[in-house]
Amino acid sequence: MAPRVSARLLEELRREHDLITVKVWRADGVLAWTNRGRGRIGRGFPFDGDLGEAIAENWATGALDQLSSGEDDVERRLG
């Protein structure tokens, strides 16, 4: 993700108060960008459910998810 893309996403998130976390994934399971818990960027996580299907099928998706994987710890702590 280019710095200008990151800045644009952060600007959009400031306007959209109902969005809590945005994650952008690479096809190999590496978290390419997120607005929360940025230390996770560059780490690989196993895909499951809809995200795994979207990556395999090469289509974009957005969802409200259950916070069930270890990768979701940051969001789970938000309550």
Give the residue extent of every domain in the chain. Answer: 3-76
Give dist(CA 40, CA 74) in Å, integer: 9
Torsion of CA 29, 30, 33, 39, to 10 degrees: 130
Condensed to tens digits (0 to 9), the pLDDT of residues 21-79 reads: 888 888 888 999 888 888 999 999 887 777 788 888 887 776 666 666 776 777 777 76
- Structure confidence at residue 54 (pLDDT): 81
Residue 14: how many CB atoms within 10 A of its CB?
10
- Structure confidence at residue 41 (pLDDT): 92
